[in-house]
Amino acid sequence: MPIRKQVKMGWREEIYLPELLRGIWITSRHFGRNLWGHILALFGIKAPSYTVTVQYPEERFPVPIRYRTLHRLTRHPDGTPRCTACMCCETICPAECIYIVAGEYPDRRIEKYPVSFRIDLSKCVFCGFCVEACPEDAIRMDTGIVEISEYDRGRMMYEKGDLLALEGAWD
């Protein structure tokens, strides 16, 4: 890789004043344009398309299909959880927010099942590694639920029953 020559700045670049003024001008232009768009909307006149503020509880952006939302556990057609307690998701999780307790299954053809499967969403970074690591496609992040907030941290712990009860938004 060749060494790049250092370019000598002129006095205008060194004092940064022209670029500072240019930045203030661009910010002021956007502020004024959006302000007038919202004032027009207040009086019932259709706001221009460049005003992008969404009035949140009443209006919502559609959630893209690939967006990572709240976790859920999937089931086999017979209703049993797909999870085999292989611990791949627990091992790969960078936030260490997944806790699995494995148990022996009474049927000898199936080795293990999760006695307890818990996700602490107050620690989760929604990276999606758990979904990618799962060999059984047992965990997904496709519920479409993005409002995940609680006043109590204890309510951010999702147990196996809670995760099995959730449905996929795009199934």
Same domain as 160, residue 77: yes
123, 157 Cβ separation under 8 angstroms: no
**Nearest CA among 72, 35, 40, 34 for reference residue 164:** 72
164, 138 Cβ separation under 8 angstroms: no
- Strand-strand pairing, 157-158 and 112-120: antiparallel
- Report whether pLDDT(89) > 90: yes
- pLDDT score for 29: 94
Tell me the pLDDT tens digit for each residue of 13-57.
788 888 899 999 999 999 998 888 888 878 888 777 766 677 777
Q: Is residue 64 part of a domain?
A: no
- pLDDT score for 18: 85
**Nearest CA among 75, 126, 66 for reference residue 98:** 126
Same domain as 94, residue 161: yes
User: Can you name the residues that pair with 54 across neighbouring β-strands?
Assistant: none
- CA dist 137 and 134 (Å) reads 6
- CA dist 16 and 142 (Å) reads 47
- Report whether pLDDT(2) > 80: no
- The sign one gets for the Cα dihedral 83, 84, 90, 91 is negative
The arithmetic mean of pLDDT across residues 97-105, rounded, is: 93
- pLDDT score for 1: 63
Tell me the pLDDT tens digit for each residue of 114-169.
999 999 999 999 999 999 999 999 999 999 898 888 999 999 999 999 999 998 88
Q: Is residue 49 part of a domain?
A: no
Domain that holds residue 130: 72-165
- CA dist 130 and 19 (Å) reads 45
- pLDDT score for 130: 96
User: Can you name the residues that pair with 118 across neighbouring β-strands?
Assistant: 99
Q: Is residue 33 part of a domain?
A: yes
Count Cα neighbours of 152 within 13 Å in the Cβ-side half-sphere.
4
Same domain as 116, residue 156: yes
User: Can you name the residues that pair with 98 across neighbouring β-strands?
Assistant: 119
Q: Is residue 67 part of a domain?
A: no
Same domain as 161, residue 78: yes
Tell me the pLDDT tens digit for each residue of 63-73.
888 899 999 99
Across the chain, mean pLDDT equals 88
- pLDDT score for 136: 92
**Nearest CA among 139, 36, 35, 127 for reference residue 86:** 139
